[in-house]
Structure 1
Amino acid sequence: MSKHMSANEKAYIAALRYQWLTPMYDRVVKYSTREHTTKHALLDMVKIEAGEHVLDVGCGTGTLALMAKTAQPYALVFGIDADKHILDIAQQKVRRQRFHVQFSQSWADKLNFAPNTFDCVVSSLFFHHLQWQEKLAVATEIMRVLKPGGRFGIADWGEPSSLVMRYLFKPVQWLDGYSNTQENLDGKLKLMLEITGFQSIETVKHFNTIFGTLSLHLAYKPFNS
């Protein structure tokens, strides 16, 4: 549910649109998006190395950030999300698993990090929540905090691989919005990366799920930025 705020504040939509559904988020994502397979594929794609600084944008309950830390214990992993309630779940996971992952509440288009901080930024199932200008603003901010030559990996809904996949995606559009999700279906995430200055943009893999086609994209910040 969109939070109603003053004119000087932003609004966000909870992970499953309604705040009361937040505790079910992990179970829904696990069984509807082939989460284990797609997130491992995302981490295999970006190849995090020891000592690197890694940021998960729109980290939700922290699953991907914790998987990144597990895959490379000597990386410094951070996660940001605007939703305090979902970050509470992420913090509980950190305490249970005894990993050092730093989560903080932040808007993705105003990251609380200095320029050229991160070697790698990842994001899973976040960009389809954003309208076009918001997508561009967040990608621009990610470009700012990446080091020259840094890489950006996205796992999100993409162009459907078949008519069946297109129809299976309709519940996602009902839940998360039509115009913003349609941009993903139209393949505009690659256009977003091009417009904001990323290079060597590649769609690495596609995964069919019970709610449509998930795509993995990889892009790099130019060395001369």
Structure 2
Amino acid sequence: MAASTQVRVLDERTPEERDRPFLPGAGKTWLLPFYDAFTRVGGVRALHERAARLAGVEPGQTVADIGCGTGNLSFTVLAVQPTAQVTGLDPDGDALRRAARKARRRGVALTLVQGYADRFPAPDASFDHVVSSLALHHLDADGRSAFAREALRTLRPGGKVTIADFGGPSSNVEDHGHSGHDHSGHDHSAHGRGPAHALRHLPLLGRSRTGHGHAADGDGLVALLSEAGFSDAREVGHADHRFGRVAFVQATRP
């Protein structure tokens, strides 16, 4: 991607994926206009800022934001490293169009791709970084495993994956970090979509341990990345708040 202020929205879904169900970040499609306001109130920006710092993106490096939603983590990465080349991936076309409008208002370059977390529409060794915030708890075990394999495939040797997601206590925490209070609309046909689910998602996108059957805890993410072939997978910190614990997990492609 050339360094410019170009904003692109691409639909890279296969014909088979056109009707594939996914869970909107706010739980219900009609709640999307309120999504950013609720994440601001919930203090999600602090999580994004910490994830972006932990990622350590260098000038000109390429970044894939998986489950980017309305683009908040992508914009945080660009605020930390303005020359980064960021691509956001999400199945929610409405959320991507909202992200595109925000990018144009900010005057930043951003590529937004409609697709799914278990199939990155990108060539091998395309990225220096893969980042994701509060997205993987939307996926079932097979989806998370596919995400890990795709992250490994599309990262260059030495590339890094940085994940922030809900997680329980872990014995391998290296840095307990700060308290902090987005989204991903991912394939999640097994989840309910009623009002209770939407309410769980709006304040802070919910409690993965009580609201979802597929908790993406820190230890589980470490094991997931290790099994996919990453080296030095580890939990590097966590944030505690009233809605639960968020683990920050990193790993490097050998």
TM-score by length of 1: 0.84
Q: Among residues 199, 205, 224, which one is paired with 1:192 in the alignment?
A: 224
Residue by residue over 1:146-205, the C-alpha shift from the partner in whole angstroms, topping out at 9 and shown as x without a partner, is: 0011000001101158xxxxxxxx942589953113xx2483111211111111112111
What is the RMSD computed on CA atoms of the aligned residues?
Answer: 2.4
- 1:72 paired with 2:81, answer yes
Partner of 2:37: 27
Distance 1:193 1:179 in 2: 20
Partner of 2:147: 138
Distance 2:50 2:24 in 1: 26
Partner of 1:164: none
Higher relative contact order (CA 8 A, sep 6+): 2
Instruction: Go from structure 1 to structure 2 and tell me whether the alpha carbon gap of 1:114 and 1:154 turns closer, same or farther (over 3 Å shift).
Output: same
Residue by residue over 1:49-77, the C-alpha shift from the partner in whole angstroms, topping out at 9 and shown as x without a partner, is: 01111110110100111111121111111
Alignment coverage as a number of residue pairs: 207
Letter in 1 for 2:212: Y
Structure 2 gaps of 5+ residues are 1-15, 171-198, 201-205
Residue by residue over 1:15-65, the C-alpha shift from the partner in whole angstroms, topping out at 9 and shown as x without a partner, is: 122111112211222222x32222111111111001111110110100111
User: How do 1:1-225 residues align onto structure 2 when only pairs under 5 Å count?
Assistant: 9-32=19-42, 34-159=43-168, 171=200, 172-173=206-207, 177-181=211-215, 184-185=216-217, 187-222=219-254
Report the structure, 1 or 2, having the larger helix content.
1
User: Match of 1:179, SS?
Assistant: coil
Instruction: Go from structure 1 to structure 2 and tell me whether the alpha carbon gap of 1:186 and 1:155 turns closer, same or farther (over 3 Å shift).
Output: closer
Structure 1 gaps of 5+ residues are 1-5, 162-169
What percentage of residue pairs aligned between the two structures are identical? 32
Distance 1:8 1:176 in 2: 30
TM-score by length of 2: 0.75
Distance 2:233 2:154 in 1: 18
Shift of 1:209: 2.1
Distance 1:98 1:109 in 2: 30
Shift of 1:9: 4.0
Letter in 1 for 2:81: Q
